[in-house]
């Protein structure tokens, strides 16, 4: 983790929908950019790819791209796209740790992660699963109070 001006710089990606953002965490090659590309095709907006600058303002962790990478998205096997529309800064609402399917609990217990000192609900997700974008969108709707769980990650 590096320091950004008045915040931190994370090796992560972030996407936004309806005024909030999801932080995608995982090592290189874990599927962050691949998942971002699929989410963009489902109506999400790019915040940042590969590096996310997080600052805290009025008790909220705000995500934005570092200026040098704003609007860029790496598409493995194709290249680096540039000049994509960016939504930023935007408050983080959910942190998603990308993991292989075998490392994901079928019925997870609630988890949280601190990002720049702000506690966020957290979830593990297989980014390459066929339903990955639907699961992420549903999780986001749950943390926003637009859907409810009776058991699981946010119950």
What amino acid positions are annotated as catalytic residues?
11, 32, 50, 106
The whole-number average pLDDT for the span 10-14 is 97
Is the pLDDT score of 2 beyond 60?
A: no
Backbone angles phi, psi at 58, to 5 degrees: 50, 40
Say if residue 11's pLDDT is above 70: yes
For the chain, domain boundaries: 2-143
Superfamily of domain 2-143: P-loop containing nucleotide triphosphate hydrolases (3.40.50.300)
Greater confidence (123 vs 7) lies with: 123
Q: Where does the pLDDT of residue 1 fall: very low under 50, low under 70, confident under 90, or very high at 90 and above?
A: very low
């Amino acid at each position: 983790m590096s320091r950004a001006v008045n915040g931190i710089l994370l090796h992560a990606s972030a996407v936004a929908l309806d005024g909030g953002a999801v932080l995608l965490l995982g090592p290189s090659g874990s599927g962050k950019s691949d998942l971002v590309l699929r989410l963009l095709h489902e109506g999400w907006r790019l915040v940042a790819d590969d590096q996310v600058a997080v600052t805290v303002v009025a008790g909220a962790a705000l995500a934005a791209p570092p200026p040098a990478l704003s609007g860029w998205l790496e598409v493995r096997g194709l290249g680096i796209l540039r000049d994509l529309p960016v939504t930023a800064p935007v408050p983080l609402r959910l942190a998603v740790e990308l993991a292989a399917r075998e490392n994901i609990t079928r019925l997870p217990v609630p988890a949280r992660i601190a990002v720049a000192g702000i506690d966020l609900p957290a979830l593990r997700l297989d980014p390459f699963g066929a339903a990955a974008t639907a699961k992420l969108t549903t999780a986001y709707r749950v943390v926003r109070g637009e859907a409810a769980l009776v058991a699981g990650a946010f119950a």
